[in-house]
Chains A and B, each alone.
Chain A
Amino acid sequence: MSTVVEARQPGARSWLTLVVCEAKMVVRDTAGLVVPVLLPLLILVMSAGSASAHVAGGFTALEAYVLPLVLTMVLASIGVINMPSFLAYYRRTGILRRLAVTPASPAMVLVAQVVVSMLQALVGLAGALAVAFLAFDARPPADLGAAFAVYGLAMLALYAVGMIVAAVAPTPNSAVAIGLITFFALGALGGMFGGSASLPDAVAAVGELTPFGAAVAGLSAAWVGAGVDPVHLVSLAVSTLVGVVTASLLFRWD
């Protein structure tokens, strides 16, 4: 018997297989699609009706404030609340324990979960944007490239925060509890309640550095064609990095 054992990590095909399997899990459990697909629409319809007033530069409040906020809320709620509760369910039922005795790594499990959740969120967002454009006459962002860049980065950052929740929450209920508190804390700092102008200056300044606040501010700037403040991009990048590293270190199989 030889002692030579190679430490081979599963390859790209295995990552893809896991992503496909996770996607099948979601598609076959239609209840799981309610939050990512219907939530964006609901938040949009609730907020859009009262936001037709014009603000500076010929943009409506819908375009300058409401859409950036709604799109960020969608990412935050799915990334920080929905996705972690799925993973906590896997932990609770022992699916993660079973994977722990295979060569699959925590990163693989987390990333597969994030990828599938992002795909769902994108479907929901596409629906919400279609409604915003068709039913509420919203116009696309003035700086489309910047909007995509900010949104992509915001997605990574908020999912990274969600991964921390997912990595540690012992039960599905605790994942929802931790996720909700995180969501509202980030949202409050980022101007989810009445806009960041209504916050004390110091709080608003801190809020702009959180991934939620930075995403809203960055998207808003991109929508009205103002330059995106690099501080917001750096904030999102740092959040992503901190989230991924922390989640990988704290990850628990059971």
Chain B
Amino acid sequence: MTSAEPAIFAEHLHKRYGDKVAVDDVTLRVGPGEVFGILGTNGAGKTTTVEMIAGLRRPDGGRVTLLGLDPRRDRAEVRQVLGVQLQEAYLHGALTVAELMGLYGSFYPDPRPTGELLELVGLAEKCGVRFEKLSGGQQQRLSIALALAGRPRVLILDELTTGLDPRARRQMWATIEHLRDEGVTIVLVSHAMEEVERLCDRVALLDAGRVLAVEPPVGLVALAGAQNLDDAFVALTGKQLEEAE
């Protein structure tokens, strides 16, 4: 693979649920080592798009290539190199943080050590606490740690910092920057402008299942003739971006 070849190539993705078109001809090309943001309002098709990229949903049309592999046909290979943090994923409630880390780590040949991962997401103190006893933000952080367990080369994070307090949010951002320095390709689904602006090399703006623009954050602002990314978002989509909790 030459360096010009994308880490993720999603071509003309289509997905409908019944009568509703969720994703309508989405094409995205994410370069190796890039931090790529997907920005849009609720219902814009962000999660459906990344779930098709991760091989969790079968596209009605189009295709996905991830490091040259097909996420559904080459499931076993893709699972070795892809880490995913799902929106609202529940884990075994009665297992402790350490037990869950051990379990998910065991799926990979060379897992990242549990201690190192918990340090990275600030959960080292919570080792012996059951998942069901963690706060929402702590569950979210554990979910991110698990996504990193297999030393992924491609990482998909759906709503990275939703539900996190400002301090945890900054800690996650530092973690993402650290992973970027390690050369991990990252797809970041978000509706937090500050996050996208700080972390992403390029951003795809999704609205009603379609890609409106793919630009670096400053490019989006320029494209809209706006002052900042918030204003650019409103100008391009005609919608107000809801605040991340």
Given A1-B5, A102-B104, 15 extra CB contacts under 8 A: A1-B153, A5-B67, A7-B74, A7-B76, A9-B76, A10-B108, A21-B92, A21-B95, A93-B90, A95-B92, A98-B90, A98-B146, A101-B56, A101-B82, A103-B108
Write out the residue numbers on chain B whose beta carbons fall within 8 Å of the beta carbon of A104.
107
Residue of A nearest to B3 (CB): A1
- Roughly how many angstroms separate A101 CA and B143 CA in the complex, as a whole number? 12
The verdict on A1 contacting B67 (CB below 8 Å), with A9-B76, A14-B107, A103-B79 known, is yes
Q: Return 10 A-B CB contacts under 8 Å, by A number.
A: A1-B153, A3-B68, A5-B74, A5-B78, A8-B109, A14-B106, A17-B103, A95-B91, A103-B76, A103-B150
Tally of contacts, chain A with chain B, CB under 8 A = 94
Write out the residue numbers on chain A whose beta carbons fall within 8 Å of the beta carbon of B143.
98
Write out the residue numbers on chain B whose beta carbons fall within 8 Å of the beta carbon of A13.
106
Write out the residue numbers on chain B whose beta carbons fall within 8 Å of the beta carbon of A100.
56
Whether B56 and A25, one on each chain, are in contact in the complex, defined by CB atoms closer than 8 angstroms, is no
- Nearest chain B CB to A117 CB, angstrom units: 16
B8 located at the interface, meaning its Cβ lies under 8 Å from any Cβ of chain A in the complex: no
A65 located at the interface, meaning its Cβ lies under 8 Å from any Cβ of chain B in the complex: no
A54 located at the interface, meaning its Cβ lies under 8 Å from any Cβ of chain B in the complex: no
B116 located at the interface, meaning its Cβ lies under 8 Å from any Cβ of chain A in the complex: no
Whether B80 and A8, one on each chain, are in contact in the complex, defined by CB atoms closer than 8 angstroms, is yes
Whether A7 and B80, one on each chain, are in contact in the complex, defined by CB atoms closer than 8 angstroms, is yes
Write out the residue numbers on chain A whose beta carbons fall within 8 Å of the beta carbon of B214.
none
Whether B80 and A98, one on each chain, are in contact in the complex, defined by CB atoms closer than 8 angstroms, is no
Which of A93, A95, A103 gathers most chain B CB within 10 Å?
A: A103
